[in-house]
A and B are shown apart, each in its own frame.
Chain A
């Protein structure tokens, strides 16, 4: 690659970098206090439906092998 092509590639890359940074700089941001509150709220609302968090009673656990019963 000639050095002219090299430098025009570099310039093209630099232009793309600046264009991308402009996009990322322009977004609207919410406060961390609101972001945190929303995450906490979501966890709180859905905790009772989270089997790994709440534990699964043996009778409702489709993965738990039922132990064989013997009739005495």
Chain B
């Protein structure tokens, strides 16, 4: 038997082993386990603020840590840092490339980052000496669009790209520290674990992968979606992963059981999921869809318990503030809304 044939056989055997091992620990389902738990009451959130100022579609937003500031990115070529309590624009940063697809706020509050069809991740220093916000670094090496970026600290950032890889960068030197390769399709989204040791990526190969940042390895791969995964996030305790896909569903995967626990779907929902965020306790899942709405799910019972209807176009991004007090949605209608 040629080596190629032998390798193919071994790969099939290993896949069967994994399927078997997952079945062995499946002594129940999440649905059975929560049978005695009451459904969360109807969740009705109101728009408290509308952030007006962008002149074109908003593609991304990210809350700062321990703050009511957030950053948004629009294809009007601007990054805006907002004080969501006053709706004031703290910074309006003009971008070299208007084809922006992602933005991120550093946990320290000192920097923001963005990127898109320029294949680069640009880092901006918000706390420069003369008060002007300038480009601090341009991280260039990806051979495809930048779909998502998240800071680990002021010196490290992780990016995901249409070139099917994710990269850990040293911001100081502007170089790649680690390349995470393995996805077979464009990487669309990433999220960092609460302890900053791992990150997860969702891709157009319909899978989500869990990566160990320091070991530079892929630990686990989760399948099940029937189309591109556009959005991904960690359950607040870091033990589970939530994905949102063009197949109109979200899924919850448990990391320690290494399998899908539940799918959030409804026959009435036929459009893709663009974005998602869990509430502080993890009990609620807020997910943005192509049909201009946000659906709120009881994460344990897998039933819809609320809708946020207020945008006049696709909801492209969503985030819950770090103290859980508010949810921010960004839309192709050029507005951001704060809800609670």
Contact = CB atoms under 8 A, between A and B. Distances in A.
Contacts of B4: 7, 10-11, 14
Interface residues of B, number: 64
Interface in B213-239: 217-221, 235-237, 239
A47 B340 contact: no
A51 interface: yes
A25 B4 CA distance: 20
A32 interface: yes
Interface residues of A, number: 42
B21 to A, nearest CB: 6
A25 B48 CA distance: 48
B141 interface: no
B315 to A, nearest CB: 16
Contacts of A47: 281, 283
Given A11-B7, A24-B220, A24-B221, A51 B324 contact: yes
Given A21-B15, A32-B261, A43-B282, A27 B340 contact: no
Contacts of B326: 51-52, 63
Interface in B296-324: 299-300, 320, 323-324
Contacts, number: 169
Given A27-B220, A32-B25, A50-B324, A18 B261 contact: no
A14 B28 CA distance: 35
Interface in A42-66: 42-43, 45-47, 49-53, 56, 61-65
Contacts of B299: 43
Contacts of A21: 11, 14-15, 18
A36 B261 contact: yes
Interface in B171-220: 182, 217-220
Top 9 A-B residue pairs of the complex, sorted by shortest distance between their CB atoms: A46-B281, A36-B33, A50-B281, A63-B48, A21-B14, A14-B7, A35-B257, A35-B254, A50-B280
Given A36-B33, A50-B283, 8 more contacts: A22-B14, A29-B258, A31-B28, A32-B26, A39-B30, A40-B37, A46-B282, A49-B281
